[in-house]
Structure 1
Amino acid sequence: MRILHTSDWHVGKVLKGQSRAADHIAAINALVEVAKAEQPDLVIVAGDLYDGATPTAESVKIVTRGLSALRKSAEVVVIGGNHDNGAALDALRPWADAAGITIRGAIGKPDDLMLAGTTKDGEQWRLAALPFVSQRYAVRAAEMFELSAAENAQSYPQHIGDLLSALTKGFGGDTVNLITAHLTVIGATMGGGEREAHTIMGYAVPASVFPSSAHYVALGHLHRAQSVNGPCPIRYSGSPLPIDFGEEENLSTAVVVDVTATTAAHAREVTLPVKTPLRTVRGTLEQLSTLDTGDAWLRVYVQEKPRAGLREEVQELLPKALEVRIDPKLLPDPRSAGGSEPARAGRSAGELFADYLSQRGHADDATVALFHRLHDEVVSQ
């Protein structure tokens, strides 16, 4: 059978106030074209369809249309990620069931999370679908599975291991055995735009939680496409577009997997085009004025002394500059600053603000004058 593995769409993402809706539509359209060309038997979307728990109507429209388009080429299975509202995703199940799309937004009974099917060529497959499980929900999930070791004393990796062990008991010797989950595996590399609270702080699990009986593990959560060493083939598909500037070096990808019940999985990455790339540039105003940055959204490190109005000057030169910062190389290193911190007692807000600017390398009379004017307006009301 052939599988198309994707994850971490993050539809609804706003970058420095700029909507990425057009980029997401283009990315999902590219996935649909891959599905048309590759003709998979199964499409797995391994979580984080949305960037937040309360997606806008526009975001829901983009996602549901994208899933419907993918369904024209293959069966589609979707799980909830840490950015998704699992219950809200499950509320779409009546629509999804009618459309032939399988959604598992939140953890449920084991029977509801073990899926099965047969390809058009007669290959039988089973898929253990594990949506994102939070720390506080791990114990409740174990109780829902009626596991004996559901004590609070268990660690998060132990809970996940127990859940997967219970789910994969139904794997057969003559079926293609698959797992999809939304989590962090120890040893994998972050993509740069993930929510750290859900990738560290006890959320990482060892690859040993996956059984050797699995032919392929389709993961979501980390945005960089990569394989992970373990007892079976384990991969992150990567995000179909860079989520923020921390991911501008990542390739936008999906993964196509060929596997049978008796042969090892063969995975290959498919690079997806990005409608509006993200790019970081550096230079003086004069140097920036000569750059051809195309259609990219920009993060600019300007190599000028800080002053009032500098951001506006940069954005006049580069209208697609979403983030403008002073190049860190021009800022003083606070660790090398000699002497003690100036006393605060008895000093005015304006004096303290001027001292702060000097310490940060931002000394500018126009900025100080603007602060005084705003401060006077506030205190006089």
Structure 2
Amino acid sequence: MRILHTSDWHIGRTFHGHSTLAALRAVLFEMVDQVRERHVDVVIVAGDVFDSAAPAASCYELLTETLAALTDAGARVVMTSGNHDSAARLGFQARLLRQEIAVRTDPAFVDSPITIEDADGPVQFYCIPFLEPALVRHLWPDVEVRTHEQALTHAMNLVRADLAQRGGRSVAISHCFTAGVEATVGVERDIQQGGLDVVPLSVFDGVDYAALGHIHGRQQLSPRVRYSGAPLHYSFGEADKPRGSWLVEMDAAGETSVEWLPLAVPRRLTTLRAPLDELLGDARFNTDEQSWVAAEYTDAAPQPDTMRRLQSRFQWCASVAHVPAVTREKSELTYSGRVRAARSDLELVDAFLSHVREGEGASDAESEILRNTLGEQAAAEASK
């Protein structure tokens, strides 16, 4: 059986205020082509199908269009919910979907698999949605469920017990944060602190393959436990992470061989760091003019109107930050202390500039202008 492991589509997510629907549609339909060309039997979506609990109508349209295209390409689709999804909204029409599409979002049915047959017999697909302990503990009143580890451990115990009776090969689909993964700062933004959400790798013992979602970069925790990551870049922190999915080929004994199927990146992401004048004019940045750009200008002092100026060259500049190349040590004097210590009008202005520029006082050119201006003013007052 050929299984395509995907996750974290995040339909409806924006990128620095820009819609990603068109770009996501392009990569999802590239995935459809891969399904058709590689004769994939089952496509897994391991949670975070949508980016919010109440997606816009256009998000449902893209999901419907993609699911129809995947099934027309010859695949079954098995999907569960993540922490961004509303499990109820994603799963409410599950019984109305065509037979080739299975959506399981109710944690009460984690031990009721979707059984798909091939020439070698059945494969049991167990869907484990994101398990928020406070929301699922009422389902298992005889079990302590205070952490994600406890919730997922109990869910997998139910899976193993059912599999022991049912038999066949097995795949667990889970949206969770597993110990040993490398999270992307600012992306997996709902991961809690303190380890309460971390589950050990051993939780997934007993199944032939565990298809995980929640982490946006592909990762292999063991030959049979993997994250596929998101199909699209949603943060500059992900820029170096390849996009794609895992093609898992399972034999009659449940042994798997796994291949990475890359997806094209619709628009490259890059972070540029240089003085503002170089960012605006240096030829070495020509190749970045059609990329998503995070600009970091290193001038000593903040510059005016930086976003507009940068977007005149980099149309897709999405963020600008002032990152001085040299950080001056802050004076122990407060601003009022600097004012009291000033012995002339020139030193008073320099104290003000140093305060608003975080330690950078007047430049030599600015000091010359100030001296001339203050001198002219003093001469004018003396002549009155």
| TM-score interval, normalised by the smaller of the two chains | 0.7 to 0.9
Query: In the TM superposition, what whole-angstrom CA distance separates every residue of 1:188-247 from its partner, at most 9, and x where no partner exists?
Result: 111345333325441110011112x21100000001111114xx7100011111111110
User: What count of residue pairs does the alignment treat as equivalent?
Assistant: 346
Q: In the alignment, what sits opposite 1:57? A: 57
Are the structure 2 counterparts of residues 117 and 99 from structure 1 closer, same or farther at C-alpha, using a change threshold of 3 Å? closer
CA distance in 1, matches of 2:317, 2:362: 24
The answer to whether the 8 A contact 1:193-1:247 is kept is no
**Residues 1:159 and 2:158 are matched in the alignment:** no
The within-5 A match list for 1:313-324 is: 313-324=309-320
Query: Which residue of structure 2 lines up, in the alignment, with residue 4 of structure 1?
Result: 4
Amino acid paired to 1:167: V
Q: Aligned in 2, Cα 1:330/1:208: closer, same or farther, shift over 3 Å?
A: same
1:135 Cα shift? Answer: 3.1
Is the aligned partner of 1:128 residue 2:126?
A: yes
In 1, distance between residues paired with 2:311 and 2:362? 21
Q: Name 1:84's counterpart in structure 2.
A: 85
Determine which of 321, 327, 338 is the counterpart of 1:325: 321
CA contact (8 A) 2:4 2:247 kept: yes
CA change 1:263–1:325 in 2 (3 A) is same
Q: Is the 8 A contact 1:142 1:159 kept in 2?
A: no
The 8 Å contact of residues 82 and 198 in structure 1, kept in 2 or not, is answered as: no
- Kept after mapping to 1: 8 A contact 2:289/2:313: no
SS in 2 for 1:129: strand
Would the aligned equivalents of 1:192 and 1:223 in 2 still touch at CA under 8 Å?
A: no
| Amino acid of the structure 2 residue aligned with 1:155 | T
1:231-268 deviation line (CA, Å, top 9, x unaligned): x7100011111111110110001000011241521111
Tell which deviates more after alignment, 166-175 or 24-33. 166-175
Compared with structure 1, are the counterparts of its residues 33 and 339 closer, same or farther at alpha carbon in structure 2 (3 Å cutoff)? same
Tell me, in whole angstroms, the C-alpha distance in 1 between the residues paired with 2:67 and 2:2.
Answer: 18
- 1:81·1:131 contact (CA, 8 Å) conserved in 2? yes
Q: Which residue of 2 aligns with 1:287?
A: 278
Q: 2: CA distance between counterparts of 1:221 and 1:23?
A: 20
Match of 2:233 among 236, 242, 254: 242
Aligned to 1:203: 197
Q: Secondary structure at the match of 1:149?
A: coil
The one-letter amino acid paired with 1:286 is D
Among 148, 157, 161, the residue aligned to 1:169: 161
| CA separation of 1:340 and 1:163: change in aligned 2, threshold 3 A | farther
Q: State how far apart, in whole Å, the 1-side matches of 2:361 and 2:168 are.
A: 65
Aligned equivalents of 2:290, 2:96: Cα separation in 1: 37
Identical counterparts, % of pairs:
25
Question: Which residue does the alignment assign to 2:104?
Answer: 104
Residue of structure 1 aligned with 2:184, choices 180, 191, 207: 191
Q: Distance in 2 between matches of 1:78 and 1:56?
A: 20
Query: How much has 1:363 moved relative to structure 2?
Result: 9.2
Match of 1:44 in 2: 44
Cα distance in 1 between the residues matched to 2:131 and 2:75: 27
SS in 2 for 1:218: strand
Q: Which residue of 2 aligns with 1:274?
A: 265
For 1:351-366, what aligned pairs fall within 5 Å after superposition? 357-359=356-358
Q: Which runs of 5+ in 2 are unaligned?
A: 338-351, 367-384
- The answer on whether the counterparts of 1:191 and 1:223 sit within 8 Å (CA) in structure 2 is yes
Which residue pairs with 1:377 in the alignment? Answer: none
Query: Relative to structure 2, which stretch is displaced further, 238-247 or 185-194?
Result: 185-194
Q: Is the 8 A contact 1:252 1:272 kept in 2?
A: yes
SS in 1 for 2:31: helix
Match of 2:347 in 1: none
Q: Which residue, 221, 233, 250 being the options, matches 2:214? A: 221
Paired with 1:10 and 1:360, the residues of 2 have a C-alpha distance of 43
Cα distance in 1, alignment partners of residues 325 and 101 from structure 2 = 51
Displacement of 1:341: 5.1
SS of the equivalent of 1:219 reads strand
CA distance in 2, matches of 1:313, 1:23: 26
1:128–1:167: 8 Å Cα contact kept in structure 2?
A: yes
Corresponding residue SS for 2:273: strand
The letter of the residue matching 1:125 is V
TM-score scaled to structure 2, two decimals? 0.82
Segments of structure 1 that go 5 or more residues without pairing to the other structure are 345-352, 366-381
Could you say if the C-alpha distance between residues 355 and 61 of structure 1 is closer, same or farther in structure 2, counting changes exceeding 3 Å?
farther
Give the AA of the match of 2:325.
Answer: K
Letter of the structure 2 residue corresponding to residue 209 of structure 1: V
